[in-house]
Structure 1
Amino acid sequence: MHSPLLDHTALTGDERFALQNPQLLRVVLDGRAEVLARTGAMVAHTGRVRFTEWRPPRGQRHLYNGQAGPGGPAQQPPAMDLMRCTGTGTVYVANLAQHLHILDLRGDRLTITSAYVLAFDAGITWRTVAVEGGERISGVGNHSLELSGNGRLVVMTSGRPLVMPVRAGEYVYADADAVVGWSSALEVQLQAQSANTEAWRRHGTATEGWELSFTGDGFVLVQPSELRPPQRLPRR
Structure 2
Amino acid sequence: MQSPLFGYTEQQTQDRWSLQNPQLLRVALEGHDDVLARKGAMVAYQGLMEFEGEYQTHGQRHARAHTGEGLDLMRCHGQGVIYFANLAQHIHLVDVDQDGLTVDSAYVLAMDSTLHHEVIAVDSQYGISGSGKYQLAITGRGKVALMTSGHPLMLMVTPDRYVNADADAVVAWSNGLRVQMQAQTHSSGVWRRRGHTGEGWELSFMGQGYALVQPSEVLPPQQADIGGGLMAQYGMGQQGARGANQGNVWN
**TM-score w.r.t. structure 2 length?**
0.78
Secondary structure of 2:99 counterpart: strand
**Percent of aligned pairs with the same residue?**
47
Aligned to 1:104: 95
Tell me the CA shift for residue 135 of structure 1: 7.4
Pairing 1:145–2:136 present: yes
Pick closer, same or farther for the CA change 1:81–1:110 going to 2, 3 Å.
Answer: same
Secondary structure of 2:140 counterpart: strand
Secondary structure of 1:115 counterpart: helix
Q: Distance in 2 between matches of 1:185 and 1:27?
A: 29
In the TM superposition, what whole-angstrom CA distance separates every residue of 1:197-235 from its partner, at most 9, and x where no partner exists? 463xxxxx33xx2111111111110111112693353xx
Pairing 1:193–2:180 present: no
Tell me the CA shift for residue 49 of structure 1: 0.6
Q: Distance in 2 between matches of 1:29 and 1:35?
A: 8
Tell me the CA shift for residue 107 of structure 1: 2.3
Q: Which has the higher contact order (CA 8 A, sep 6+)?
A: 1
Secondary structure of 2:59 counterpart: coil
Instruction: Report if aligned partners of 2:158, 2:207 keep a CA contact under 8 Å in 1.
Output: yes
Aligned to 2:202: 211
Q: Extract structure 1 runs of 4+ deviating beyond 6 A.
A: none
Aligned to 1:76: 63
Instruction: Report if aligned partners of 1:167, 1:217 keep a CA contact under 8 Å in 2.
Output: yes
Gaps of 5+ in 2: 186-192, 220-244
Query: Of Structure 1 and Structure 2, which has the larger fraction of its residues in helix?
Result: 2
Q: Distance in 2 between matches of 1:138 and 1:83?
A: 27
Instruction: Report if aligned partners of 1:172, 1:214 keep a CA contact under 8 Å in 2.
Output: yes
Instruction: Report if aligned partners of 1:114, 1:143 keep a CA contact under 8 Å in 2.
Output: no
What is the identity, as a one-letter code, of the residue corresponding to 1:176?
Answer: A
Tell me the CA shift for residue 185 of structure 1: 1.0
**TM-score w.r.t. structure 1 length?**
0.82
What is the identity, as a one-letter code, of the residue corresponding to 1:159?
Answer: G
Q: Distance in 1 between matches of 2:40 and 2:110?
A: 11
Aligned length: 212
Equivalent residue runs for 1:108-147 within 5 Å: 108-133=99-124, 136-139=128-131, 141-147=132-138
In the TM superposition, what whole-angstrom CA distance separates every residue of 1:94-140 from its partner, at most 9, and x where no partner exists? 0110111111223231101111111111011221223134972342x
Tell me the CA shift for residue 6 of structure 1: 1.6
Aligned to 1:14: 14
Instruction: Report if aligned partners of 1:79, 1:143 keep a CA contact under 8 Å in 2.
Output: no
Query: Of Structure 1 and Structure 2, which has the larger fraction of its residues in strand?
Result: 1
Aligned to 2:236: none
Gaps of 5+ in 1: 61-73, 200-204
Secondary structure of 1:44 counterpart: strand
Q: Distance in 1 between matches of 2:6 and 2:37?
A: 28
Tell me the CA shift for residue 153 of structure 1: 1.0
Pick closer, same or farther for the CA change 1:198–1:232 going to 2, 3 Å.
Answer: closer
Q: Distance in 1 between matches of 2:206 and 2:47?
A: 47
Instruction: Report if aligned partners of 1:37, 1:118 keep a CA contact under 8 Å in 2.
Output: yes
Instruction: Report if aligned partners of 1:109, 1:149 keep a CA contact under 8 Å in 2.
Output: yes
Equivalent residue runs for 1:141-180 within 5 Å: 141-180=132-171
Instruction: Report if aligned partners of 2:17, 2:27 keep a CA contact under 8 Å in 1.
Output: yes
